[in-house]
Structure 1
């Protein structure tokens, strides 16, 4: 019989400033090389290597070598979910520059939360899916309805749950900036991936912020009745 999970060990790994900077930079779901993570954390490559080893050993990151470079990513969606949950209880940091203000505004408007859509756009889309009864709430989960399955499949979204996957299929994820839920899980990832394929959303360089394209605005309005303000109308 195993003892209770050691929350203190995980908290210690996450709580170090350099390590949390590297973990947060990976919340967009992509892999980054050790050199880039060192730059993000503003530490030497040698120090970064030591921190990354601890994060891998602690089960928060996984690594893979490509040629001479080693890339790191979050170990699983549960790690991303835990990090996002911390955002909802953490006090906001003061904004110190116009550039940082613009970055925060873009993040609040539309971003990826690991591999699914978050921010004002992600929440608005989720609420429309609920209003149209394409998904439904049941026992603190989201359930894809038959109408939702047909609608999303017609859009090209993979709507079949993998019975061998340990990942939850459709679940609510509390959005730290909107304080409401967006769609996560395998279904949220499939829907977001399809929006990228359609060119309805595009990644912005240097972070997790995502741009809603003109095609995306018209497509989401046409298919789901979603309308959005422009980013500059979003509160900071």
Structure 2
């Protein structure tokens, strides 16, 4: 007699929760790390507000989203970094040959911007994220040979650069996150989040529109060249 794994029903429910195009679109949009209103997500997913509300209820009940209300508005965000990792890891498994080609110049430009640089929940992704990760590795600040880990020199570099690292929680200091456009790992974890936050707060990186895409400013190009030797051409 075969004993079924007790996790099987929960895994099946989780998979079914994500296996809907509208809910998947919401989860991907929320990878920008910010809170969205139900109306914003409905417009993004191209569905009626009543339809979207039902989907959000399922995602909240399933523990993938957290919600809060302010006045008449209902805001939702990804429940935590583990959910973001799950969504990004699943997205990285999609064969790029199966992705629908962008329709028109606007969609094509948006896709190019996302590939150049974007936030993956709270860290950098795209060519920007890869360029920064490779620079950290080449300078001996990050090790990738035995899994992602900051070196002692890397810890000193973060401190000297004024980038505070949160080392008190259960979140790993450094973690590899497979980039779904570049097909290579970029830096996630507490260090990735701190670095992304530092670049945004300094104005070295700015968001493009209301989505996940970001771009490096001229001041950011100079700063990344000085701090990590990243060439400006790798950021454009």
TM over 0.5: yes
How many residues are paired up? 228
Q: Whole-Å Cα distance in 2 between the matches of residues 139 and 62 of structure 1?
A: 34
SS class of match (2:233): coil
Deviations 1:77-134, CA, capped at 9 Å, x for gaps: 1111111122222132212111111111100000000000001011011011011111
Partner of 2:192: 188
Determine which of 182, 206, 210 is the counterpart of 1:202: 206
Deviations 1:171-223, CA, capped at 9 Å, x for gaps: 01111111111100111001100011111100111310001100111110111
Q: Whole-Å Cα distance in 2 between the matches of residues 15 and 93 of structure 1?
A: 18
Task: Give the alignment's TM-score, normalised by structure 1.
Answer: 0.91
Task: Give the alignment's TM-score, normalised by structure 2.
Answer: 0.91
Contact kept, 8 Å, 2:130 with 2:185, in 1: the verdict is: yes
State whether structure 2 residue 151 is matched by structure 1 residue 151.
no
Partner of 1:73: 77
Q: Whole-Å Cα distance in 2 between the matches of residues 194 and 15 of structure 1?
A: 35
Within 5 Å, which residues of 2 pair with 1:115-134?
115-134=122-141
Contact kept, 8 Å, 1:121 with 1:228, in 2: the verdict is: no
Where does the alignment leave 5 or more consecutive residues of structure 2 unmatched?
A: none
State whether structure 2 residue 144 is matched by structure 1 residue 137.
yes
Contact kept, 8 Å, 1:118 with 1:182, in 2: the verdict is: yes
Please list every run of at least 4 consecutive aligned residues from structure 1 whose deviation after the TM superposition is greater than 4 angstroms.
none
State whether structure 2 residue 226 is matched by structure 1 residue 219.
no
Partner of 1:89: 93
Deviations 1:3-41, CA, capped at 9 Å, x for gaps: 225222112111111111111110100000111111112
Q: Whole-Å Cα distance in 2 between the matches of residues 31 and 24 of structure 1?
A: 13
